[in-house]
Amino acid sequence: MSRINEIIVKYDSSPSCLIPVLQEIQKEFNYLPEEALDAVSEKLGVPLNQVFSVATFYNAFSLDPKGKFVIQVCMGTACHVRNAPKIVSELERLIGINKGETSADNLFTLETVNCLGACALGPVMTINGKYFGHLEVNKIETILREYQ
């Protein structure tokens, strides 16, 4: 809680800083813990339902704990037709989880998204924001090894 309080104080407990405060908490913990939302609501003087609305509206925020490395695989049309589903299957097989899940060791979270804005590089995935394009199923294991 002390780290959360430090972040809130850094922004002068200003209600207008709700989004930057939540962004910094998200960055620090990789998700928004429930007690953080309570503290933000109380200290910024923003109703809890409003804090929740913002926290659930933006994709950048998560209310669930995530792994150290968040993998996002694009399933948009341009990537889908270039084998993105097989990329997801390979990641599920190698990590031992299904999409939407986090590995038991909290190392990886696997997500699918609709477009990563790099359609020409499809199929594309990101790991903590780093792009990997022109993916092939047989390259996935080597990429994952860099993070294990």
Shortest approach of ligand FES to residue 64 CB, angstroms? 24
Peptide bond into 123 cis (omega under 30): yes
User: Are the C-beta atoms of residues 90 and 103 closer than 8 Å to each other?
Assistant: no
> What are the tokens at 1?
């809680």
36 binds ligand FES (CB under 6 A): no
Site for ligand FES in 46-75 (CB under 6 A): 74
> What are the tokens at 107?
């190392």
Binding piece for ligand FES, criterion CB under 6 A, among 23-31, 58-66, 111-119, 137-145: 111-119
Q: How many chain residues bind ligand FES (CB under 6 A)?
A: 12
CB closest to ligand FES, residue no: 76
88 binds ligand FES (CB under 6 A): no
Smaller CB separation from ligand FES, 70 or 115: 115
Phi-psi label, residue 64: left if phi above 0, alpha if psi -120 to 50, beta otherwise: beta
Instruction: Please give the Cα distance from 130 to 95 (Å, whole number).
Output: 19
Instruction: Using CB under 6 A, list all residues that contact ligand FES.
Output: 74, 76-79, 115-119, 122, 124
